């Protein structure tokens, strides 16, 4: 019948074939280059959204348009302000205050129509 050596040989052969089957597709392709290369021939008119993003002249606009410079500074200055406002709005005292205000409005509405 089946001996341990036959079973071991079977599983060894099976694993070898499985590895060959799995790795077959990966051996066909060359390794991925370390950095992506620019397209060899860019589109004359990039009609897809991703092509428009890829071919947009970011460096030119950042160097020659004032709004891009100020946008970076404005975001950097506004983030701490928005974080401060968010912290105040989501504090426990403010939540309790708004819960009381909503409860009062609900009671006034209930008494007005019942």
pLDDT band of residue 38 (cuts 50, 70, 90) is low
Percent share of the chain, pLDDT over 70? 80
Q: How far apart are CA 72 and CA 74, in angstroms?
A: 6
pLDDT at 20 over 90: no
Q: What is the pLDDT of residues 76-97, one digit of tens each?
A: 999 999 999 999 999 999 999 9
Q: What is the pLDDT of residues 39-68, one digit of tens each?
A: 677 778 888 898 888 888 888 888 898 888
Q: How far apart are CA 101 and CA 107, in angstroms?
A: 10
Please answer whether residues 70 and 79 qualify as being in contact, where contact means their C-beta atoms are separated by less than 8 angstroms. Answer: no
Q: How many CA atoms lie within 13 A of 44 on its CB side?
A: 0
């Amino acid at each position: 019948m089946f001996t341990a050596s036959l079973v071991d040989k079977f599983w060894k052969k099976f694993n070898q074939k499985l590895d060959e089957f799995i790795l077959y597709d990966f051996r066909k392709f060359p390794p991925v280059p370390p950095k992506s290369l620019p397209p060899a021939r860019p589109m004359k008119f990039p009609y897809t959204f991703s092509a428009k993003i890829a071919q947009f002249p970011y460096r030119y606009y950042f160097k020659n348009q004032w709004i891009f410079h100020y946008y970076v500074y404005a975001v950097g200055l506004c983030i701490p302000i928005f974080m401060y406002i968010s912290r105040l709005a989501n504090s426990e005292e403010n939540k309790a205050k708004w819960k009381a205000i909503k409860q009062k409005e609900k009671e006034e509405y209930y008494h007005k129509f019942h």
